[in-house]
A and B are shown apart, each in its own frame.
Chain A
Amino acid sequence: GAVVSQHPSRVICKSGTSVKIECRSLDFQATTMFWYRQFPKQSLMLMATSNEGSKATYEQGVEKDKFLINHASLTLSTLTVTSAHPEDSSFYICSTALNYGYTFGSGTRLTVV
Chain B
Amino acid sequence: TQLLEQSPQFLSIQEGENLTVYCNSSSVFSSLQWYRQEPGEGPVLLVTVVTGGEVKKLKRLTFQFGDARKDSSLHITAAQPGDTGLYLCAGVRSGGGADGLTFGKGTHLIIQP
List chain A positions with a Cβ less than 8 A from chain B. 6, 9, 32, 34, 36, 41-46, 49, 91, 93, 95, 97-102, 104-107, 109
Contact = CB atoms under 8 A, between A and B. Distances in A.
B88 A101 contact: no
B33 A102 contact: yes
Contacts, number: 60
Contacts of B101: 34, 44, 46, 95, 102
A101 B48 CA distance: 8
A44 B33 contact: no
Contact of A93 (B42, B98, B99, B108): B42
Interface residues of B, number: 25
Nearest to A96: B97
B34 to A, nearest CB: 12
B53 interface: no
Contact of A107 (B33, B42, B103): B42
The 7 closest A-B pairs by CB, nearest first: A104-B42, A46-B100, A34-B100, A97-B97, A43-B106, A43-B103, A44-B103
